[in-house]
Amino acid sequence: MNFTCSNRFFPILSQILLFVAIEQTALLRAQDVQEYRTPPDKIKWLVSSPLAPVMMLSPSKEKTLFMESPAMSGIDELSQPELRIAGLRINPVTNGRSRRSHYSSLTLRPVSGGKEVKVSGLPANPKISSIAWSPNGKQLALAVTSMDNITLWIVDTKRGRAKQVMKNSLNGAYGTPYEWLSDSNGIIALTVPTGRGEAPAESRVPKGPVIQENSGGEAPARTYQDLLTSPHDEALFDYFLTSQIVHVTLQGKVTKIGKPAIYARAEPSPNGQMLLVETVHRPYSYLVPVYRFPRLVEVWDLKGKVVHTATDMPLGEQLPLGFGAVPTGPRSFGWRSDSNATLYWIEAQDGGDPKAEAEVRDRLFVHTAPFTGASSAFIDLPLRFSYVQWGSDDLALVTTREWSTRKTQTWAVSPGNPKGPPKLVFDRLYEDRYSDPGYPMTKMNDNGASVLLTGSGAKSIFLSGTGASPEGDRPFLDELNIETGNKTRLFRSEAPAYERPTAVLDVDKSVIITSRETRDEQPNYFIRYLKNGKMKQMTSFPHPYPQMKGVYTEMVKYKRADGIDLTATLYLPPGHKPADGTIPMIVWAYPREFKTSTAASQVIGSPHRFLRISPTSSSTSALSMLIHGYGVLLNATMPIVGEDNAQPNDTYVDQLVASAQAAVDYMVERGVADRKKVAIAGHSYGAFMTANLLAHSDIFATGIARSGAYNRSLTPFGFQAEERTFWEAPGIYFAMSPFMHAQKVNEPLLMLHGEADNNSGTFPVQSKRFYHALKGHGATVRLVMLPHESHGYRARESVMHSLWETANWLDKYLKGSKQ
């Protein structure tokens, strides 16, 4: 068959073919998928270096467990099936949390020195998590995740031999799936119910619309992600969160306790005879995550009999807005760790509203088994309850805080004498780092519960803190006599090292364990004998990246135009000194809010810390560029201050620009930076900062923003430290949103974002819409969406590609030539 056409048809055909070609080209551009790239080898090997093992001390303080982390996981692991429901992310194959960090190997060592034992008997390439010493220190419990389930294993710490203790699969969808009993002979575990059948399938034909309704009453809520959205989500939630509580012995005998239900926890009492059980139940919410779902709180015996019903907390959708808002009625239940079986809980006395006037905000109650008598009020608190640390009948510490004033108080009480007056031990502003007294150190008692570490006949406690000071952080260990208030300094880190206490081995002999590091030596563990000043090295972890030796490090101080002192850590590439001239610089920062300029001016950091480059840390994208020829001003402080009745964000943009200007001015005056070759970069709120600085100043040549939020109207009920809603302060929301000022951005911006970001407020659509706005105004911008990644980036391919993007972008817009 011959095909002929007139000459008049050829122009029409040509136009049609041209139109099709253009459309296909546009489609290819829109759908162009680039393969993962890797940065230069020197960067690639840098972030591939192994991390130092993490240490866990045994209850008897005779042995240490060292836990080694695996190399970065691959994108194939993140590509596994994942359910995102009720604020949780679940692997439906294993019935555990997806994206959970894990360890790959375990080693036991005597504290006093001697032969180390590598834990054996585990499956090949194990994924180890939820590691817990038994109260007597003779065993370790751990969860091992395989391809299709999570199993419970026990390690004999004398031989280092591991064995699977039961065939039942653990249910790790909610949290830690087991707890030791105090006798060290058994464990209470949450398991997947046997014979539960297949997961509910979603019908392609809906039964009806999804309806939400509010019949009165304010129900403000911050912007959450991964919420329930349909009846099918509810069915999946029921299926994967339902557990069976079991008692399993070391010999593997399994006894069911109660019936399957959605258990948030089943926590044994310190004496091991009862369980504190929290059961999540309907009605569920499409507005808030699982931790605000209704839950029944009960005490059971080990046979599943309900001994005491504590409360049935309702759905928490209608809480007052603001930091410190809590539900009315009993909340925050726990066991008094120094008692056999005594419950404690908190009840708000101000309607749960932090803005309400009230002399007493919270009241702490206690109730002792067998719960036949009435409960008793233990202490009235003028600020919102934060946490309690139990020690003995003679001493417990109750800590409170208030967001609006940044105030925190700690009260000492005598549980054995509840009518005795509480003693105010600490009363300070928690944003004031210089006045931080430290955190009370604890120990594990004979029941395996954490209690206060005390001395001098239980009259003193031991406080370990970062030791913030004008010369930088200098960690310390103090002994504080609660009765007299006298404080004795037992240890303080001395230059040129950064050394922090991690445990007290012997109170009477003043023997402690510390983690010690310098600029050139990575952290290692030491035993310190405080009475004679001697020290013994426990570990000798080698330098993980010798190619970074010779990096210039300096903690620097400079001043903002309004007089506020600022700090940062200046890093220059190996072999480069400040006197060697200017190099392209990266400023990495994260803004923070303060109520006082005094706190905002305090020094943060230490000049003696080892340079860590963790592959999954967001700041690695900046620090790894040191070996690529860039300098870094790390953690440059960007304080946003609102004193007295003013709120920090009232002048957010002005203060942000002033801090950034001061940082660049300082580096230029020092001669380490060329004003035209400085980049600004940050992650999350640091990305928000980056976009704002490009929109409202011309200080930087380019910017790199990772996983940020750019339109605050998408987080209308507050964000970061902002309590006011969009409707209360629309001008603030508008002024602080770089999306609203996209037309002002005239510097190149690289944006990266995980496609599965679950952080509150930083929806992936934030970056997509900001990119569209910038592109629409002709800005130079590149958007990189990383498949399967959450708020932080975990897969090796994603990390490497992010570093490639960063190096390429900086080479093009700071050095002036793309490589």
With 70 as the cut, is the pLDDT of residue 497 above it? yes
Tokens representing 183 are 């006798």
With 70 as the cut, is the pLDDT of residue 447 above it? yes
With 80 as the cut, is the pLDDT of residue 595 above it? yes
Angle at which helix 685-696 crosses helix 652-670, to 10 degrees, equals 80
Q: d(Cα 777, Cα 743) in Å, to the nearest integer?
A: 6
Instruction: Quick: pLDDT tens for 132-145.
Output: 999 999 999 999 99
Place of tokens 């706005």: 773
Tell me the average pLDDT across 648-664: 98
Q: In what order do the strands lie in the sheet with 781-786?
A: 552-559, 565-572, 631-636, 585-589, 678-683, 702-706, 749-754, 781-786
With 70 as the cut, is the pLDDT of residue 147 above it? yes
Asked whether the CA dihedral 658, 663, 664, 666 is positive or negative, the reply is: positive
With 50 as the cut, is the pLDDT of residue 579 above it? yes
Q: d(Cα 347, Cα 280) in Å, to the nearest integer?
A: 20
With 60 as the cut, is the pLDDT of residue 2 above it? no
- The residues carrying an active-site annotation are 684, 757, 791
Is residue 32 very low, low, confident or very high in pLDDT (cuts 50, 70, 90)?
low
Mean predicted lDDT score pLDDT of the chain: 93
Torsion, Cα 165 170 176 182, to 10 degrees, reads -40
Spatial CA neighbour of 66 closest among 104, 95, 98, 15: 104
Degrees, nearest 5: CA angle 273-277-283: 165
Place of tokens 């190997």: 105
Q: Spell out where 63-160 has E strands.
A: 63-68, 83-85, 88-91, 96-97, 105-110, 117-118, 127-133, 139-145, 150-156
| Confidence (pLDDT) at 212 | 82
With 60 as the cut, is the pLDDT of residue 755 above it? yes
Is residue 33 very low, low, confident or very high in pLDDT (cuts 50, 70, 90)?
low
For 807, which DSSP code? H
Between 221 and 6, the more confident residue is 221
Within a 13 Å sphere around the CA of 547, how many CA atoms are in the beta-carbon half? 15
Q: Is 362 exposed, middle or buried (0-12, 13-18, 19+ CB in 10 A)?
A: buried
Least confident of 431-435, 457-461, 699-703: 457-461
| Confidence (pLDDT) at 203 | 87
Tell me the average pLDDT across 341-358: 96
| Confidence (pLDDT) at 322 | 87
Q: d(Cα 343, Cα 310) in Å, to the nearest integer?
A: 9
Is residue 211 very low, low, confident or very high in pLDDT (cuts 50, 70, 90)?
confident
Tell me the average pLDDT across 542-555: 93
| Confidence (pLDDT) at 34 | 80
Instruction: Quick: pLDDT tens for 60-102.
Output: 999 999 999 998 889 999 999 999 999 999 999 999 999 889 9
How much of the chain exceeds pLDDT 90, in percent?
Answer: 88
Q: Where does residue 500 fall: left (phi above 0), alpha (psi -120 to 50 degrees), or beta otherwise?
A: beta
DSSP string of 579-648?
Answer: GG----EEEEE--EEES-HHHHTS--S-TT------TT-TTHHHHGGGGGT-EEEEEE--EEE--TT--G
| Confidence (pLDDT) at 419 | 84
Instruction: Quick: pLDDT tens for 687-732.
Output: 999 999 999 999 999 999 999 999 999 999 999 999 999 999 999 9
Q: d(Cα 254, Cα 250) in Å, to the nearest integer?
A: 10
Three-state SS sequence of 198-251: CCCCCCCCCCCCCCCCCCCCCCCCCCCCCCCCCHHHHHHHHHHHEEEEEEEECC
Q: In what order do the strands lie in the sheet with 96-97?
A: 83-85, 88-91, 96-97
Q: d(Cα 48, Cα 68) in Å, to the nearest integer?
A: 14
Amino acid of residue 59: P
Q: d(Cα 110, Cα 96) in Å, to the nearest integer?
A: 33
With 90 as the cut, is the pLDDT of residue 246 above it? yes
Instruction: Quick: pLDDT tens for 469-489.
Output: 999 999 999 999 999 999 999
CB 769 within 8 A of CB 710: yes
3-state helix vs strand vs coil in the chain, percent to 5: 20, 35, 45
With 90 as the cut, is the pLDDT of residue 15 above it? no
Instruction: Quick: pLDDT tens for 274-332.
Output: 999 999 999 999 999 999 999 999 999 999 999 999 999 999 998 888 899 999 999 99
Containing 655, the helix (H) or strand (E) segment is: helix 652-670
| Confidence (pLDDT) at 6 | 44
Tokens representing 708 are 């940020």
| Confidence (pLDDT) at 19 | 42
For the chain, the residue count is 819
Q: Spell out where 336-418 has E strands.
A: 342-348, 362-368, 376-381, 384-392, 395-402, 407-413
Three-state SS sequence of 664-713: HHHHHHHCCCCCCCEEEEEECHHHHHHHHHHHHCCCCCEEEEECCCCCHH
Q: d(Cα 108, Cα 102) in Å, to the nearest integer?
A: 17
Q: Give strand pairing partners of 156.
A: 139, 161
Tell me the average pLDDT across 183-189: 97
Spatial CA neighbour of 636 closest among 692, 704, 685, 589: 589
Spatial CA neighbour of 468 closest among 555, 390, 529: 555
| Confidence (pLDDT) at 113 | 85
Place of tokens 């604890």: 442
Reduce the DSSP state of residue 432 to 3 states and report it.
coil
With 70 as the cut, is the pLDDT of residue 1 above it? no
